Structure 1
Amino acid sequence: MPVTVQQLTSQDSDALKALLAKDPAHNIYLLGLLAEFGIGDSRSSYTYWGRFDGKTLTAAVFVGGGGALVVPSAGDSVATGVIADALAERVRLKASVGEKPAVDALVRSLCAGKPRLSKTHRLFSVSADDLGPFTNPLLRLARDEDLERLVPLAAGAVRDMYDRDALAEDPNFEARVAQRVRARRTYVLEENGELVFKVDIGSRSQFGAELEGLYTVPSQRGKGHATLCLGQISRFLLSSLPRLTLRVDEKDESMARIARKVGYLAQRTQRLVLVE
């Protein structure tokens, strides 16, 4: 059976969705991208590439911005490596996130130098049946009037996760924070006029959602805000979705304990890579 690598088109949408849906927890991010933006066309700033065994799609890779973000489907890292080798002349990887063996394969073929940042994460997932009794009904959607107070929290989350000063390095950072707020993807906890916690819905589809950017201001840590608020947003979202996922830095034992306490179960190892 011949093995080929091809750019996916709208005719491959059902096959791509079916492939990702075989392992929805580990493909939540890609399923959300597919639901929000579709498979794209020649005018799009992103593409999907697939490995076919005969006519069967067996692996896929999302390439945004010519390599600004590269995300592999979960599963066989050897299949991902075949796609990466085929893209070596056209893609220069700048950032990637996904299952560690698959991201490792992408880095080998598409990364010209040593990544500036490489972190391993543990993916955690939860369904409604797994949730513990942790809630805080004061968690709410962020509003436009919160932006001035919210931006420092968002920058703190980026600093903790990526070791970057988003406010100094990214002139569009505040606009992106505002965009998430207006898309109703950011939730905050306010106490005595101060925002003390935030969390974002990073990716969402009928198969579930991925939470990201959990951040408690340093002066408010150790008070249970993260546990109660993670439980609250999880309970809210799982009233209409089958599962949620959350990536936790493997060095962040505190967040891993919080995730487990709320009911999240550890899944496979992930890797985050930033080249520039």
Structure 2
Amino acid sequence: MLTVPVRLLGDTDAAEVRRLLDAAPYAGAQVAERVTSGRMAWWRHEARIFGYGRRLGSLCWVGANVVPVLASQPAAGAFAELVAGEPRGCSSIVGTADAVLEMWTRLAPTWGPAREVRGCQPLLVADCPAPGVRPDPDVRLVRSDEVHALYPASVAMYTEEVGVAPAADGDPSYYDRVLDLVRARRAYARFSNGRVVFKAEVAVVTRHTAQIQGVWTDPEFRGRGIATAGMAAVVDDVLRRIAPTVSLYVNDFNEPARQVYARCGFRQVDTFATVLF
């Protein structure tokens, strides 16, 4: 039996949730975008949001992903205890490293084994154009009639990054996700003879930040500075058009990517971890 104050949050908790998410503008961005309308009922999102503390101090999104936000060790333990008795329905647990790893310590006996645990992923933020880096003028928003060219690059990126293909044969969900990003003017690419050689997407937008995911350079074109100039172009456009900051998280072992982000003016503000199933 739970002996700590954990409760399912609903529409009446929206103001408190927004207060909490404003205190975690980068680490809580994934959840903040989903509840930006102020409507919190689980059936609106096909997910549940749980809060910890009589005065809300932590929360946890439980849906296709599990995302703890501002979760202290007791809160992370309480969230893990809450969901441990349920069949695992998520593809990952992602968030600040302390909270995710605390949850996984408690969930591993029933939810394990994980396909991979990435315990150190620097969370980076940039709030101004990169000094001394010339943005690539050929990086631009992808048009709807170019999705057929972007999709294979997106599949290649996902498979390289996550270790599995993004969708089973015949499942259109990942293609639809790519198309949605293009239609929302969130997908950037550089093309060469109709082929994507660099790409990046804005996966999350809040009033505080735009979170970048899916950064990828064609292996044939790596080592030429394309990623640095391409990211500089993305950062410039996002800061001008979408949000006051740009954020992302990166695997600590991906040294080439970390060097690109450092050149583009990103600084570390926190550390994420991801448990992949």
TM-score by length of 2: 0.88
Shift in alpha-carbon separation, 1:152–1:33, aligned structure 2, 3 A = same
- State the SS of the aligned residue for 1:60: strand
Matched, 1:264 2:263: no
1:157-214: CA deviations, max 9, x gaps?
A: 1122101123656722222222222222211111233221110111101111100000
- Equivalents in 2 of 1:252, 1:211: separation in Å? 16
Matched, 1:182 2:183: yes
Which residue identity does 1:230 align to in structure 2?
M
- Equivalents in 2 of 1:182, 1:85: separation in Å? 40
Runs of 4+ in 1 over 6 A off after TM superposition: none
Which residue pairs with 1:254 in the alignment? 256
| Contact 2:155–2:165 (CA under 8 A) maintained in structure 1 | yes
Shift in alpha-carbon separation, 1:193–1:86, aligned structure 2, 3 A = closer
Structure 2: unaligned runs, 5 residues or longer: none
**1:42 Cα deviation (Å)?**
4.2
- Equivalents in 2 of 1:57, 1:166: separation in Å? 35
Shift in alpha-carbon separation, 1:85–1:75, aligned structure 2, 3 A = closer
Matched, 1:103 2:100: yes
Which residue pairs with 2:123 in the alignment? 123
Shift in alpha-carbon separation, 1:185–1:51, aligned structure 2, 3 A = same
| Contact 1:123–1:269 (CA under 8 A) maintained in structure 2 | yes
- Equivalents in 1 of 2:170, 2:248: separation in Å? 25
Aligned residues: 268
Which residue pairs with 1:32 in the alignment? 33
- State the SS of the aligned residue for 2:131: coil
Identity of aligned residues (%): 25
Over aligned residues, Cα RMSD in angstroms?
2.1
- Equivalents in 2 of 1:182, 1:258: separation in Å? 27
Q: Which has the higher strand share?
A: 1
Which residue pairs with 1:153 in the alignment? 153
- Equivalents in 2 of 1:250, 1:59: separation in Å? 26
- Equivalents in 1 of 2:170, 2:59: separation in Å? 30
The counterpart of 1:72, out of the listed 45, 48, 68, is 68
Which residue identity does 2:93 align to in structure 1?
S
Alignment of structure 1 residues 184-203 onto 2, 5 Å? 184-203=185-204
Shift in alpha-carbon separation, 1:91–1:185, aligned structure 2, 3 A = farther
Which residue pairs with 2:13 in the alignment? 12
Which residue pairs with 1:63 in the alignment? 62
- Equivalents in 1 of 2:260, 2:211: separation in Å? 16
Which residue pairs with 1:241 in the alignment? 243
- State the SS of the aligned residue for 2:250: strand
- State the SS of the aligned residue for 2:5: strand
| Contact 1:78–1:105 (CA under 8 A) maintained in structure 2 | no
Which residue identity does 1:107 align to in structure 2?
W
Shift in alpha-carbon separation, 1:167–1:49, aligned structure 2, 3 A = closer
1:98-138: CA deviations, max 9, x gaps?
A: 1111111222334421101222311111112x632431232
Comparing 235-244 and 164-173, the one that deviates more: 164-173
